Amino acid sequence: MMIPLVPVPEKGVGHSFDARVSNVRSRANWMRLRLLKMIVDAGQGHPGGDLSATDIIATLYFDILRFDAARPDAPERDRFVMSKGHCTGALYSALAGAGYFPEVELDSYLQPESRLNGHPNRTYLPGVETNTGPLGHGLPVAVGIAIAAQIDKTDYRVFVLTGDGELQEGSMWEAAMLAGHRGLGQLTVIVDRNRLQQGARTEDTNALEPLADKWLAFGWDVVETDGHNHAGLLQVFDAACLPRSKPLCIIANTQKGHGVSFMEDQASWHHGVPNAAQYAQAIAELEAEMTA
């Protein structure tokens, strides 16, 4: 099945707020359809975490981030680091939609010799900032990138998307402490707060709460938002792009599997592949969402 790119206005600047919301909404819906097809075709994937992150990533790639897909190494580009590197369905569909490589290449997801590995690899694929997949690596690298920006007095921004289960890695807090100490105002972390990790709830496994207080104690600003509300995400990201003297943590309250009813808030869909009937239901639900 070919899922066409929805014709939408170009990125945020110069468009009304309503047009920006509508653009991100269309793109997120397209990403959901596209990443589910990738997972079904590949016979494997992480649909739960892909779908919880989709609205955040769509807002960044199709409105907020400044980049030129034809020049993926342009020094002035904003950086996006996918610290929750297992969610490549969401990342690759956004990169293809943003023009980093042809959409048709998404069909090679997880196939032998494909550039579209289960975990993103910057040496293979344009647009991938750093290799991730082992949890706890993306934020430390992003802090290094933001320190370089601070030293070089350049104005690019660094955005990092982390899972909430990923915050059980000690390396994340070591990096957070340094970012607070250095006052890395160009750095923004978004926590995909879906409250599930691989097989269980975060709070039953190794509780994170009070999560906002932890970031505050490490010298960060913190804001909480609904990670599926495109208008709210745009407002929070617009504010995040203003000059700051501290790093910012956005706790985005999300739902694993969001947008596909039988996957929502189910640990069992961390991994998983819909069967034919489930896939048909998922497509029907997502298409209905766009015509609602």
185 binds ligand TPP (CB under 6 A): no
Q: Does 55 bind ligand TPP (CB under 6 A)?
A: no
Q: Which H or E run includes 91?
A: helix 88-97
Per CB under 5 A, 85 contacts Mg ion: no
- The Cα 88–Cα 98 span in angstroms is 15
Stretch that binds ligand TPP, among 73-81, 164-172, 231-239, 276-284 (CB under 6 A): 164-172
Query: Strand runs (DSSP E) across the chain, as ranges?
Result: 79-82, 158-163, 187-193, 221-226, 248-253
Task: Report the Cα 65 to chain-centroid distance in Å.
Answer: 12
Residues 159 and 130: beta-carbon distance below 8 Å: no
- Which residue lies nearer to Mg ion by CB, 108 or 168? 168
What is the size of the binding site for ligand TPP (CB under 6 A)? 20
Comparison of 169 and 221: residue with beta carbon closer to ligand TPP:
169
For position 164 contacting ligand TPP by CB under 6 A, the verdict is: yes
Residue 156 or 164: the one with the smaller Cβ distance to ligand TPP is 164
Task: Give the range of 27-35, 44-52, 89-97, 207-215 binding ligand TPP by CB under 6 A.
Answer: 44-52
Residue 99 φ/ψ region, left for φ over 0, alpha for ψ in the -120 to 50 degree band, beta for the rest: left
Beta carbon nearer to ligand TPP, 22 or 253: 253
**Residue selected from 27, 37, 77, 84 as contacting ligand TPP according to rule CB under 6 A:** 84
Question: What does the per-residue mask of binding to ligand TPP show for 255-284, with x meaning CB under 6 A?
Answer: -x-------------x--------------
| Inter-axis angle of helices 17-42 and 230-240, nearest 10 | 110
Burial 151-189 (b: 16+ CB within 10 A, else e): eeeeebbbbbbbbbbbbbbeebbebbebbbebebbbbbb
Considering the rule CB under 5 A, would residue 163 count as an interface residue with Mg ion?
Answer: yes
State which of residues 45, 120, 163, 180 lies at the interface with ligand TPP (CB under 6 A): 163
Beta bridge partners of 226: 253
Q: ∠ CA 153-182-179 to the nearest 5 degrees?
A: 105
Residues lying near Mg ion in the complex (CB under 5 A): 163-165, 194, 196
